[in-house]
């Protein structure tokens, strides 16, 4: 059995599975039950000046029978006084000394406010701090959360203030509601962040009720934008993690968050540079015990791969994530249909005919059977047919060895500019 | 004409010139495609220009220059 323990910027945890700061980490009762179930760490529901939440807070997007493909909330930070939370953190840490407890914090962007809260939470024995610069609603209107997280200089300044007094590692939690998340990540690092975590929720409106014309959710007929999370956001989160992981100006450990619900998701986030991960929606949907399957799955995977420690996964796929301009233009894949597995639904033909390059022919074979065949010379290898195909193994995307040397877009442009004696087009990154 | 045939026609035109000893000296790309200028060292030979429309032919011609040689064999796209 592999070693699942991690050390994220000095925060030690028996495994990489942490609960994200959210309703499942609202109380000591919940966090202790989560640790009993197997979670290795918990980022406490964000502490700050207690707020008053609205009633009717959550909504979900169900897609084609899959419940909670995406989750939306208009909840704010903790609504309980700081002292109550601190007492429960202290008790929880005492019961679970080897588990990681991180205090998520959000206060007004003022030095004295940060100093005060950092000192008070560190006094009860937290293992680290997470600065919530990500909450997209409610707090942002008061100049906190995403409002300060969208201003790189403010992120840097607030991180600096925290580091002036913090004795435990400081994680800066980033908002995805920004054009280039690496800019803020770099400023967090300039401010002294020991690690970053991402992503917080994405600005969203879950829907509009077409009968009442009310927003979903609504508070007595009025709605406001919320934060989106859950499986639907995973690709967005993963790309942001990858961008930060490959940015040399960032260079600090990453706690990956966003749409994680299975051990496979965890492996993907770690391969893309996360030292550990955090989960919210999947726990809200299925409860703490999903971690049992995650632990088993990860253990078996590591054993199958012959890896002794989960840390061996960290960042292994990062070098494989580069710029479009550095991809080989001479690499070629084509679709190949396997008649044995094809159920003749024709979806691939329709997709290629209507949305790609019209190269899947509907033919009749020598036995009079209807078959589909790809004209490989016209196939551009877009993958669409294999994406829409409902039958496992009916379409393979096959790499062809063209015998041609690799050449990227950037190399191609160098060739052209070399020939023409001047640069013709900008480099593509 | 299929997309492959369009490309194949343009590729043949490129390869024929290369086999005759022409060399690519300039590639100008604009909204209409790539204008590729070929010259031949031989006496009395004037430059030849091809307007390439297909993406694969534009890729082919730059691959040839990039590799610094004529292709040993045509690009095999069908197996
Ligand atoms: C109802 C709800 C409340 C949340 N509250 C907080 C919070 O107080 N502080 C915080 O940093 N993030 C908060 N989040 C964001 C989560 O910690 C996490 O970043 C986000 O949900 C993405 O992870 P997921 O896809 O696993 O849910 C909240 C999310 C939800 C759904
Ligand atoms: S990969 Fe794209 S172009 Fe090729 S057959 Fe499938 S849909 Fe058509
Ligand atoms: S989509 Fe798949 S199953 Fe349907 S016809 Fe095409 S190959 Fe066969």
Please report the ipTM that was assigned to this predicted complex: 0.83
Instruction: Kindly state the average pLDDT of the residues A78-84.
Output: 94
Phi-psi region of A30 (alpha: psi -120 to 50; beta: other; left: phi over 0): alpha
Q: What is the tens place of the pLDDT at every residue in A366-398? A: 999 999 999 999 999 999 999 999 999 999 999
Indicate whether residue A374 lines ligand 2 (CB < 6 A): yes
Instruction: Kindly state the average pLDDT of the residues B5-26.
Output: 96
Count of residues in chain A: 429
Indicate whether residue A351 lines ligand 2 (CB < 6 A): yes
Between CA A214 and CA A324 the distance in angstroms is 42
Q: Is A425 on the interface with B (CB under 8 A)?
A: yes
Please say whether the beta carbons of A41 and A31 come within 8 A: no
Do residue B75 and residue A376 have CB atoms under 8 angstroms apart? no
Domain extents in chain A: 6-320, 324-400
Q: Is A419 on the interface with B (CB under 8 A)?
A: yes
pLDDT band at A146 (very low <50, low <70, confident <90, very high): confident
Is there a domain that residue B76 lies in?
no
Q: Which residues of B touch A424 (CB under 8 A)?
A: 27-29
The H or E element that residue B19 is part of is helix B3-19
**Half-sphere exposure of residue B40, counting CA atoms within 13 Å on the CB side?**
15
Strand A202-204 relative to strand A195-198, pairing: unpaired
Q: Is A412 on the interface with B (CB under 8 A)?
A: yes
Q: Which residues of A touch B28 (CB under 8 A)?
A: 420, 424
Is there a domain that residue B59 lies in?
yes
Supply A322's token pair: 């580069």
Which residue among A357, A376, A415 places its CB closest to the CB of B66? A415
Please say whether the beta carbons of A422 and A357 come within 8 A: no
Regarding predicted confidence, which is higher, A143 or A292?
Answer: A292
Between CA A227 and CA A205 the distance in angstroms is 8
A426 pLDDT higher than 70: no
- Mean pLDDT lowest among A116-120, A136-140, A180-184, A412-416: A136-140
pLDDT band at A422 (very low <50, low <70, confident <90, very high): very low
Is there a domain that residue B7 lies in?
yes
Q: What is the tens place of the pLDDT at every residue in A60-75? A: 999 999 999 999 999 8
Residue B76 DSSP label: -
Instruction: For residue B25, give the chain A residue with the closest CA.
Output: A419
Q: What is the tens place of the pLDDT at every residue in A216-240? A: 999 999 999 899 999 999 999 999 9
Q: Is A330 on the interface with B (CB under 8 A)?
A: yes
Neighbours of A166 (CB within 10 A): 21
Q: What is the tens place of the pLDDT at every residue in A236-276? A: 999 999 999 999 999 999 999 999 999 999 999 999 999 99
- Please state, for a pLDDT cut of 70, what percent of chain B lies above it: 86
Burial bucket for residue A360 (CB in 10 Å: 0-12, 13-18, 19+): buried
Neighbours of A79 (CB within 10 A): 12
- CATH of residue B53's domain is 3.30.920
The verdict on whether A135 is a catalytic residue reads yes
Ligand 3 nearest-atom number relative to CA A395: 7
Q: Mean pLDDT across chain A, nearest whole number?
A: 95
Supply A319's token pair: 């070098």
Q: What is the pLDDT of residue A192?
A: 98
Compute the C-alpha angle A203/A251/A109, nearest 5°: 50
Instruction: Kindly state the average pLDDT of the residues A148-174.
Output: 96
Q: What is the pLDDT of residue A147?
A: 80
Please say whether the beta carbons of A265 and A241 come within 8 A: no
Between CA A33 and CA A89 the distance in angstroms is 13
Q: Is A153 on the interface with B (CB under 8 A)?
A: no
**Which domain, by its residues, includes B14?**
3-67
Task: Render the burial of B11-45: b for 16+ CB within 10 Å, e for the rest.
Answer: bebbbebbeeebebeebebeeebbebbbbeeeeee
Question: At B78, is the secondary structure helix, strand, or coil?
Answer: coil
Nearest CA-CA distance, residue A234 and chain B, Å: 33
Q: What is the pLDDT of residue B62?
A: 96
Q: Which residue has the tokens 């990681």?
A: A100
Instruction: Kindly state the average pLDDT of the residues A155-162.
Output: 97
Ligand index nearest the alpha carbon of residue A85: 1
* CA–centroid distance for A360 within its chain: 36
B70 pLDDT higher than 70: no
Instruction: Kindly state the average pLDDT of the residues B64-70.
Output: 78
Do residue A330 and residue B28 have CB atoms under 8 angstroms apart? no
Closest C-alpha among A307, A328, A316 to residue A400:
A328
Ligand index nearest the alpha carbon of residue A261: 1
Q: Is the domain covering A6-320 a CATH 3.20.20.70 domain? A: yes
- Cα B61 to Cα A401, A412, A416, B49: the distances in Å are 18, 10, 10, 13
Q: How many domains does chain B have?
A: 1
B77 pLDDT higher than 80: no
Nearest CA-CA distance, residue A374 and chain B, Å: 11
CA–centroid distance, residue A304 to ligand 3 (Å): 32
A141 pLDDT higher than 90: no
Indicate whether residue A234 lines ligand 1 (CB < 6 A): no
Indicate whether residue A337 lines ligand 2 (CB < 6 A): no
A119 pLDDT higher than 90: yes
Is there a domain that residue B78 lies in?
no
Burial bucket for residue A279 (CB in 10 Å: 0-12, 13-18, 19+): buried
Q: What is the pLDDT of residue B1?
A: 80
A168 pLDDT higher than 90: yes
A6 pLDDT higher than 60: yes
B 28-47 → A contacts, CB under 8 A? 28-29
Q: For residue A366, what are the contacts with CB-CB under 8 A and spacing of at least 6?
A: none
Which CATH number applies to A324-400? 3.30.70.20
Q: Is A370 on the interface with B (CB under 8 A)?
A: no
Q: Which residues of B touch A376 (CB under 8 A)?
A: 77-79
Q: Which residues of A touch B2 (CB under 8 A)?
A: 359, 375, 377-378
């Amino acid at each position: 059995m592999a070693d699942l323990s991690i050390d994220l910027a000095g925060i030690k945890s028996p495994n990489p599975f942490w609960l994200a700061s959210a309703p499942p980490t609202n109380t000591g009762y919940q966090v202790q039950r989560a640790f009993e179930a197997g979670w290795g760490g918990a980022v406490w529901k964000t502490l700050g000046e207690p707020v008053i939440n609205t009633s009717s807070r959550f909504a979900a997007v169900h897609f084609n029978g899959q419940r909670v493909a995406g989750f939306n909330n208009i909840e704010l930070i903790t609504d309980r006084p700081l002292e109550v939370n601190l007492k429960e953190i202290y008790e929880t840490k005492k019961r679970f000394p080897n588990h990681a407890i991180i205090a998520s914090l959000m206060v007004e962007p003022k030095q004295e406010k940060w100093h005060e809260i950092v000192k008070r939470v560190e006094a009860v024995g937290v293992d680290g701090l997470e600065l919530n610069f990500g909450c997209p609603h409610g707090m942002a209107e008061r100049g906190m959360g995403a409002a300060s997280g969208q201003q790189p200089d403010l992120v840097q300044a607030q991180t600096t203030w925290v580091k002036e007094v913090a004795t435990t590692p400081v994680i800066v939690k980033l908002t995805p509601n920004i054009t280039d998340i690496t800019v803020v990540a770099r400023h967090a690092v300039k401010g002294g962040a020991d690690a970053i975590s991402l992503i917080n929720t994405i600005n969203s409106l879950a829907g509009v009720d077409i009968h009442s014309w009310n927003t979903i959710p609504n508070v007595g007929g009025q709605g406001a934008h919320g934060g989106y999370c859950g499986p639907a956001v995973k690709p967005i989160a993963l790309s942001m993690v990858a961008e930060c992981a490959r940015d040399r100006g960032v260079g600090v450990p990453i706690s990956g968050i966003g749409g994680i619900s299975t051990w496979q998701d965890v492996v993907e986030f770690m391969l893309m540079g996360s030292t550990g991960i955090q989960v919210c929606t999947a726990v809200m949907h299925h409860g703490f015990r999903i971690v049992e399957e995650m632990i088993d799955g990860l253990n078996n995977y590591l054993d199958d791969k012959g890896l002794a420690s989960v840390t061996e996964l960290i960042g292994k796929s990062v070098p494989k994530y580069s710029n479009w301009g550095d991809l080989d233009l001479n690499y070629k894949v084509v679709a190949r249909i396997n008649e044995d597995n094809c159920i003749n639904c024709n979806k691939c033909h329709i997709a290629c005919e209507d949305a790609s390059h019209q190269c899947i022919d509907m033919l009749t074979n020598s036995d009079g059977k209807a078959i589909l065949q790809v004209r490989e010379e016209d196939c551009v290898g877009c993958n669409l047919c294999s994406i829409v195909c409902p039958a496992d193994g009916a379409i393979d995307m096959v790499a062809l060895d063209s015998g041609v040397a690799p050449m990227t877009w950037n190399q191609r442009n160098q060739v052209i500019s070399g020939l023409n004696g001047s640069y013709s087009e900008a480099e593509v990154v | 004409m299929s997309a492959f045939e369009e490309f194949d026609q343009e590729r043949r035109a490129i390869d024929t010139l290369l086999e005759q000893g022409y060399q690519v000296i300039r590639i100008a790309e604009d909204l209409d495609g790539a204008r590729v200028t070929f010259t031949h060292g031989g006496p009395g030979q004037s430059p030849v220009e091809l307007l390439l429309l297909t993406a694969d032919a534009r890729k082919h011609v730059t691959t040839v220059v990039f590799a610094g040689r004529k292709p040993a064999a045509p690009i095999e796209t069908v197996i």
